[in-house]
Structure 1
Amino acid sequence: MTIEKSLPNMVMVCVDGVENGDIYGRYFHRYKKEETFFPDSATLVIEMERFYDAIGYPQAATKTRKFMERKGGRIPAKEHMAVISDSQALIQLRGNLATFLVGVTSRQNASWQGDVVWMEQKIRKHFCSDMELVVFVDDAVKKSEL
Structure 2
Amino acid sequence: MSFVTKDMYFIIAIFPHEKCEICGDLHSPVLKESVQFHDLTELVLIMNKIMQDFNIPKYDKKNRSFVSDYKSINIPLEYQDLNSGNFERYLDKSLKFPMESKNIFTVKVMYRQHCTWQGQIVWIGQDKVRFFRSDLELIALIYSTYNEDYQ
TM-score band, normalised by shorter chain? 0.7 to 0.9
Q: Distance in 2 between matches of 1:145 and 1:115?
A: 24
Relative to structure 2, which stretch is displaced further, 135-144 or 51-60? 135-144
TM-score (norm 1): 0.78
Q: Does 1:139 align with 2:138?
A: no
**Runs of 4+ with >6 A deviation:** none
Q: How does 1:61-76 map to 2 (within 5 A)?
A: 61-66=60-65, 67-69=67-69
Cα contact 1:17–1:24 (8 A) shared by 2: yes
Identity within the alignment, %: 22
Q: Distance in 2 between matches of 1:130 and 1:21?
A: 21
Instruction: Please state how far the C-alpha of 1:19 moved relative to its aligned partner.
Output: 5.2
Instruction: Please state how far the C-alpha of 1:58 moved relative to its aligned partner.
Output: 0.8
Q: Does 1:28 align with 2:27?
A: yes
Letter aligned with residue 109 of structure 1:
H
Structure 1: gaps of 5 or more residues: 1-5, 71-79
Cα contact 1:100–1:119 (8 A) shared by 2: yes
Q: CA RMSD in A?
A: 2.5
TM-score (norm 2): 0.75
Q: Distance in 2 between matches of 1:19 and 1:111?
A: 31
Post-superposition CA distance 1:11-53 (Å, at most 9, x none): 0011112557731001001122311000100000001000000
Count of residues paired in the alignment = 132
Cα contact 2:6–2:56 (8 A) shared by 1: no
Identify the residue that residue 91 of structure 1 maps to in structure 2.
Answer: 95
Partner of 1:22, secondary structure, is coil
